Amino acid sequence: MRLNAYLARAGVASRRGAEELIRAGRVRVNGEVAGLATFVESQDTVEVDGSPIEPEPLTYVLLHKPAGVVTTARDPQGRPTVVGLVNHERRVVPVGRLDADTTGALLLTNDGPLAHRLMHPRYEVDKVYEAEVEGEPSAEALAELADGVELEDGRTSPAEVDRLSPSRIELTIHEGKKHQVKRMLQAVGHPVRSLHRSRYAALTLDGLAPGEWRELTPDEVAKLRTPGTP
């Protein structure tokens, strides 16, 4: 693991803050002053200002994000954040983003490599959204969503689309373009009135009210680590 990631996982500082500590010569690995390119193995000894550092245990949290909460650790405008809402004893960060007005399933973790893999479209992690839209989309509009929609930053990948009611659509995507679901529905002429993510990978919100969170089970974590596991 790269040293800055190790320090971040240990809760010493953010990755950027850890890089500043390393540049200042305050970090030693096995007694030697470390550099930015230093990698840490499990048997290595890491010290900051002479004090030994141990990485925090890996933590995985599922949050039922309510509306009005931003998907960041801090907000310059003073709005409530998902990290503040979870208020975990360990430093966890959100995997991907949900808009402030979007509700639903959000994963937070301090497992950087897993978070990176889950956000990469190559691994095709299911993200299931329920959208209340303006008007009643036609079969042709739903077919267009399923085939992929041309957006200003490129064409979206094929999606799974189901009609839940005349103006309510369930959309399953594997990408993470900014405001993707909203822009897809806008592109086919049906702007979103409300948006809820009901499932992330195999994680559902069963038993979680808006604003509540829980730790993932070992089985759930194992499924997240295994590509293609339902």
Write out the catalytic residue numbers.
99
DSSP annotation of 194 reads: E
- Residue 59 in contact with residue 109, Cβ under 8 Å? yes
End-to-end CA distance of the chain: 28
CA-CA distance, 216 to 222, in Å (whole number)?
10
Strand partners, 166: none
Alpha helices in 73-227 (DSSP H): 82-86, 112-119, 139-147, 180-187, 218-225
SS3 labels along 68-101: CCECCCCCCCCCCEHHHHHCCCCCCEECCCCCCC
Pairing verdict, β 32-33 and 27-29 = antiparallel
CA-CA distance, 124 to 155, in Å (whole number)?
16
Radius of gyration of the chain (CA): 20
Tokens 């430093």 identify what position? 91
